[in-house]
Amino acid sequence: MSVEKPSVSQELWTDFFAGSRLACARLISVVENSPQAIPEVLDRIIPRQKGGIRVGVTGPPGVGKSTVTAALARRAVQAGRKVGVLAVDPTSPFSGGAFLGDRVRMQRLSDDHQVFIRSMASREGHGGLSPATPYAADVLDAFGLDRIFIETVGVGQSELDVMSSADLVVLVLQPGTGDVIQALKAGIIEAADLFLVNKSDLQGTETLLDSLRFLMEIGGGPRRKSLPPVIQASALQDRGLDEAFAEIERLVSGLVASGLFLEKRRARLESEVRAAIGRELWDKYAALTNAGEVIPAVVGRLLERRRSPYPYIREAVSRVRILIDEERGPREEPQ
Amino acid sequence: MSVEKPSVSQELWTDFFAGSRLACARLISVVENSPQAIPEVLDRIIPRQKGGIRVGVTGPPGVGKSTVTAALARRAVQAGRKVGVLAVDPTSPFSGGAFLGDRVRMQRLSDDHQVFIRSMASREGHGGLSPATPYAADVLDAFGLDRIFIETVGVGQSELDVMSSADLVVLVLQPGTGDVIQALKAGIIEAADLFLVNKSDLQGTETLLDSLRFLMEIGGGPRRKSLPPVIQASALQDRGLDEAFAEIERLVSGLVASGLFLEKRRARLESEVRAAIGRELWDKYAALTNAGEVIPAVVGRLLERRRSPYPYIREAVSRVRILIDEERGPREEPQ
């Protein structure tokens, strides 16, 4: 890793730490568009983080995640919290009318500078969540926000990945659909800390609640000892949202008191360190061996001759020697 | 990588290559339950693969993927193909009645030894597809099957990963739901080679077709030049499946003729080689630096002092030297 020209100007940093919302938006664009700048940004923002809580709001399309998120964000503002919302691609032409109406309400909160709203672009070619979303939450945390809602687009694997960086996950469901099964299969049921049954005035709410209880009983597994709280709500009619918000705040207090909040941060930091070192090892290896050209050529020949790649892999790896320069001694924090 | 006791006995190999279905099932269990045995298995089976075609059948829950898969498998048998089906967790109590009825029909094909059917377990804690699924397909290929259907559970990220190992993807949809949007967001629309509108006797088929055309026009992107074939079918009424099967066979011929089939195999092999070398580099590094204990300790201190991990990462990496032993010379295929 060589020292390179910083991606973020001192002016932007000054504005950001002075509380400029425009600078905050620009910084999120940096982590979103320039992954190589993420270390530089984290170096500056981590010491300024105050432990803002990330609340994931997930659920299948059409259940009213956006309306729920907006309602929870409004309540957080009323409770005196500094609030941010990270939403996935709401500029998509496929978002329905309710979502648009909701955008208008959210826009008002945003215009009043009460809520920092940010859309995260989709991941290229996939349509899933942007991998920069957790870092955008880091930025909002350092910006001084203490409740950061992350609204996902569905209940797939990429949602699960982002949810694993949330401190608390609200799973929004609605009666009368097969969504529970889908959420179960995607592993979201197990990741959820709170079930919010939206549109609970619709038929089928009791059936949905029964299914949830049944799933918890038989499928909860070792990670889940008891059914998480279930809130019946109707975000459009503004019913049940006070209860949901109160429950979230209660869960947050519990997370902080139990140390689970810190434990989650610890696990995330650890996997970040491992992944970063792994990438650097690979880059060094690739530079030494010209792997970028060698591997495709080898693979072409293996394929032609119907050979397993593992003899080649074993051979390549057996020729690698790694030395650790101990002379320079352990300097964990050269800052 | 040291040479270890083989995970697969010579007896099992002999039975497998003699065509024992039981041995084939056992070998799939090996790749499913013992990831460390995968290199050993691939070493033996890759030279025996004959280029069996993997057809992914994906779509949201409830659209009839299993019935469609069964119908296509039957037609493949009738066309003289040797056929396998890899299905995700059909023992799940959440599978509906149609699925069970279908299992019975499939069972009959299986009992007649016409179709090799195998359920792949879910990935631990996630409920997604087993990561061993592509290797199970490798085993079936080496077993001599030439059409291998892989039926997924939904349309999330993990499906996309498995679909990327399929040669051809059939996306099953049904009218009257918002499934198109969900599939679009999961990136499956772009990955699909054939749209199969099941239950096309239901209202809303025209609307669904219009949406598909619209999505292709505006969202197809550079990877997609034209709308893939759309087949209207009703698997329960056995309508449209002949057309679907004929279309699949036509697409397969095109894939092979154009070289795309080989290109997909090449890309998969290349990413396998890169990932395997990367894992080995990490293992060597971790063994030398005691990373398993050091990193958690460092992370704990960083977190306590609110420090960025990147100075530590830079320091750790700057102390790593990688040497490549060139003496032993390039020996690509020591077999």
Segment A278-296 shows an average pLDDT of 93
Q: Contact A334/B324, CB-based, under 8 Å? A: no
Per-residue pLDDT tens for B122-174? 554 343 456 788 899 999 999 999 999 998 766 555 566 667 778 999 988 88
Per-residue pLDDT tens for B181-215? 555 555 566 678 899 999 988 888 888 887 777 66
Selecting from B153, B265, B335 the residue whose C-beta is nearest the C-beta of A311 gives: B335
Identify the sign of the CA torsion A261, A264, A270, A273: negative
Selecting from B156, B270, B319 the residue whose C-beta is nearest the C-beta of A299 gives: B270
**What CA–CA distance (Å, rounded) separates A73 from A148?**
9
Q: Contact A262/B303, CB-based, under 8 Å? A: yes
Q: Which residue has the higher pLDDT, A97 or B12?
A: B12
**What CA–CA distance (Å, rounded) separates A58 from A52?**
19
Q: Which residue has the higher pLDDT, B30 or A163?
A: B30
Identify the sign of the CA torsion A80, A84, A87, A90: positive
Q: Is residue A323 exposed (0-12), middle (13-18) or buried (19+ Cβ within 10 Å)?
A: exposed
Selecting from A303, A322, A323 the residue whose C-beta is nearest the C-beta of B269 gives: A303
Residues in chain A: 335
From A159, which residue of chain B is nearest by alpha-carbon distance? B157
Q: Which residue has the higher pLDDT, A326 or A227?
A: A326
∠B175-B176-B178 over CA atoms, to 5°?
100
Q: Which residues of A touch B39 (CB under 8 A)?
A: 308, 310, 313
Superfamily of domain A49-258: P-loop containing nucleotide triphosphate hydrolases (3.40.50.300)
Q: Is B297 on the interface with A (CB under 8 A)?
A: no
Is residue B229 within 8 A of residue B212, CB to CB? The reply is no
Radius of gyration of chain B (CA): 23
Q: What is the mean pLDDT of chain A?
A: 81
Q: Contact A161/B158, CB-based, under 8 Å? A: no
Q: Is A144 on the interface with B (CB under 8 A)?
A: no
Is residue A83 within 8 A of residue A55, CB to CB? The reply is no
Q: Is A315 on the interface with B (CB under 8 A)?
A: yes
**What CA–CA distance (Å, rounded) separates A247 from A249?**
5
**What CA–CA distance (Å, rounded) separates B192 from B194?**
6
Q: Which residue has the higher pLDDT, B85 or A127?
A: B85
SS3 content of chain A, % helix, strand, coil (to 5): 55, 15, 35
Domain ranges of chain B: 1-46, 49-258, 267-318
Bridge partners, residue A323, by sequence: B321
